[in-house]
Amino acid sequence: MNMMRDAQYAGSWYPKDPELLRRLVTESIEESKKRKTYQRGPYRFAVLPHAGLFYSSSGIAPFFTSGLDSIERIVVISPSHYATLPPDTIVSAPLSGMRTPLGDLPAFNLMGAQREWFSAIQSEHALEMVLPYIAAQESPVKVALAMISRFTEAKAIEKLADQLMQELGREDLEKGRIAMIASSDFTHYGPRFAYTPYGSRAESRVKEDDLSLAHLLSEGRVSEALAFCTAKQSTVCGYAAALLVSSIAKRLHSRGWVADYYTSQDVSSSNDMNFVAYSTILWR
């Protein structure tokens, strides 16, 4: 039996009121079109942030600036913040749909979907933040939700990319009927995250690291990106999902670019020594 995923974070991580939520979505998309880095879509692949929408809306919005007219299915892949997952493995649960304050989304399920992962899928905020944006679009789109924790070697990325492409259908991917979103915040810095290698130059050094990783991902250099994350003991929480999407985008000759980068300090104007970075990577 398939199950509905509830909007667990509506009213806390983003507005529960449909009018307020729709306004937030619409305004953030319109603001994205004004940025210097704006390039018209449609987009086929993305790495998008997943903090509460106060922080992540401006990073999520660029993917939706061209709408979803040609897209029939979207796969959202996130890390798991609350459940332990086996490495080199993508997990999902059988869903009939997802509830959002802007209406229910229909689901499609990956072949390996198992009921045992439903509670993890239900509780994962990294899967939920993008759903109101999908629900706000005029075109009906089916959504699959999945999670992956980490990769142990580059060969595992390629193997899983092969499997997922075969399951989804290469032709549908090539023709842009399927989009894939990796849900990932970038570096989590400060004592709260037990990551403080840079002292007084933290913000500039973190930006340097994050943009280096973002460009490796946008170019499909997944082996180098994995080595970079390992060497830096990276706190980029969704790097495995980003590696997987980057690998598939490269195979399909999609052109990627870094569309945005900012930190929680930029949003809140705070000087807190703890901050989280966000990067938006898009592929056409």
Backbone angles phi, psi at 37, to 5 degrees: -85, 0
pLDDT at residue number 51: 97
How far apart, in Å, do the first and last CA atoms of the chain sit?
A: 36
**Please, what's the b/e burial string for 2-41 (b: 16 or more CB within 10 A of its CB; e: otherwise)?**
eeebebebbeebbbeebeebbebbeebbeebeeeeeeeeb
- How many other C-beta atoms can be found within 10 angstroms of the C-beta atom of residue 222? 24
CA distance 25 to 34: 15
CA distance 276 to 118: 28
Could you list the pLDDT tens digit for every one of the 284 residues in the chain?
679 999 999 999 999 999 999 999 999 999 999 988 888 888 999 999 999 999 999 999 999 999 898 999 999 999 999 999 999 999 999 999 999 999 999 999 999 999 999 999 999 999 999 999 999 998 889 999 999 999 999 999 999 999 999 999 999 999 999 999 999 999 999 999 999 999 888 999 999 999 999 999 999 999 999 999 999 999 999 999 999 999 999 999 999 999 999 999 999 987 788 999 999 999 99
**Domains in the chain, start-ordered, CATH in brackets?**
3-283 (3.40.830.10)
Residues forming beta bridges with residue 263, ordered by sequence position: 277
Asked if residues 216 and 225 have their Cβ atoms less than 8 Å apart, the reply is: yes
Backbone angles phi, psi at 77, to 5 degrees: -120, 130
Asked if residues 37 and 143 have their Cβ atoms less than 8 Å apart, the reply is: no
pLDDT at residue number 1: 64
Asked if residues 2 and 96 have their Cβ atoms less than 8 Å apart, the reply is: yes
Please report, as a single letter, which amino acid is at residue 262: Y
CA distance 195 to 78: 21
Torsion of CA 37, 71, 58, 243, to 10 degrees: -80
CA distance 171 to 178: 9
The tokens for 179 are 């989009």
pLDDT at residue number 8: 97
DSSP state of 118: H
